[in-house]
């Protein structure tokens, strides 16, 4: 694959965890990867790590909570590549207390902070980069959601998440799922596909010590959705190829 025909992907929050592993897997498949990192030095360190695996990557300073960064990144991508093939909205926060359902006492501040990163930042960055994605022959937008964003499962006694009620995080991911559905519908007559991904309960800083999946498996859903064929789905909610209920 030549430099001219390589796909270009931007992954937010990509200097560690699932984002970094997603970059590694896409890079090994020949994709040029832009690692979005709040701290550029940490992004550069991740690039060096990927280089040892033969992955072509570049760090870009991207604080998803800073709209000014969206403009800078968009201009850089346009200048260097002319288009963007893949956007993986991977960055996210979970700041609820995970030990109990504290919905009735969840503060407005915690809700706003969670939604700013997990929802508003995703919408804003995606809107800023959409003109570049429209130039791709196969634009793909992957929104990193969670099974905790499923209202259906939260309302179903006995479901895997029925007793896992982190209100701010769960609500922000449900809103993100709504964005995926609505944007996919708007773009249904274009070559762009938009989907929500549940990576699984992965052994990362956010996932914690009790997580069941290794990080390699946690990145697989994002990679699959980033490289969907022309007849692939859009407006869906997936984990390892299987649909999840909204």
DSSP the chain: --TTT--EEEETT-SSHHHHHHHHHHHHTT-EEEEEESSHHHHHHHHHHHHTTT--EEEEE--TT-HHHHHHHHHHHHHHTS--SEEEE------S-SSS--GGG--HHHHHHHHIIIIIHHHHHHHHHHHHHTTSSS-EEEEE--GGG-HHHHTSTTSTTTT---HHHHHHHHHHHHHHHHHHHHTTTSS-EEEEE---SBSSTTT-TT--B-HHHHTHHHHHHHT--TT---SEEEETTEE---
pLDDT digits (tens, 9 = 90+) for 149-162: 999 999 999 999 99
Which segment of 32-41, 215-224, 225-234 scores lowest on mean pLDDT? 215-224
Indicate which residues carry an active-site annotation: 169
- State residue 36 phi and psi, 5-degree precision: -80, 125
Does position 203 have pLDDT exceeding 50, yes or no? yes
pLDDT digits (tens, 9 = 90+) for 41-83: 999 999 999 999 999 899 999 999 999 999 999 999 999 999 9
Structural domains present in the chain: 8-243 (3.40.50.720)
Q: How confident is the model at residue 2 (pLDDT cuts 50, 70, 90)?
A: very low
Q: What is the pTM of this model?
A: 0.94
* Orientation angle between helical segments 108-115 and 167-186, nearest 10 degrees: 40
Q: Residue 201: what pLDDT?
A: 72
Does position 204 have pLDDT exceeding 60, yes or no? no
Does position 22 have pLDDT exceeding 60, yes or no? yes
Does position 31 have pLDDT exceeding 70, yes or no? yes
């Amino acid at each position: 694959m030549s430099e001219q025909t390589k796909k270009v992907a931007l992954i937010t929050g990509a200097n560690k965890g699932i984002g970094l592993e997603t970059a590694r897997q896409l890079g090994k498949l020949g994709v040029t990867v832009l690692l979005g990192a709040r701290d550029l030095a940490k992004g550069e360190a991740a690039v060096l790590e990927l280089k040892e695996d033969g992955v072509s990557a570049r760090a870009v300073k991207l604080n998803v909570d800073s709209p000014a960064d969206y403009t800078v990144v968009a201009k850089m991508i346009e200048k260097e590549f002319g288009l963007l093939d893949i956007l993986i909205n991977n960055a996210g926060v979970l700041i609820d207390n995970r030990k109990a359902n504290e919905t009735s006492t969840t503060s407005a501040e915690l809700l706003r902070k969670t939604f700013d990163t997990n929802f508003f930042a995703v919408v804003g960055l995606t809107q800023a980069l959409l003109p570049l994605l429209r130039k791709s022959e196969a634009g793909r937008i992957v929104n990193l959601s969670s099974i905790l964003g499923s209202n259906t499962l939260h309302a179903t006694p006995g479901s895997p998440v029925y007793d896992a009620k982190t209100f701010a995080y769960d609500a922000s991911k449900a809103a993100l799922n709504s964005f995926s559905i609505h944007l996919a519908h708007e773009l249904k007559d274009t070559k762009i596909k938009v989907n929500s991904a549940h990576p699984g309960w992965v052994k990362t800083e956010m996932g914690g010590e009790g997580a069941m999946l290794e990080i390699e498996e946690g990145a697989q859903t994002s990679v699959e959705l980033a490289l969907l064929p022309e007849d692939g789905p859009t407006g869906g909610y997936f984990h390892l190829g299987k649909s999840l209920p909204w």
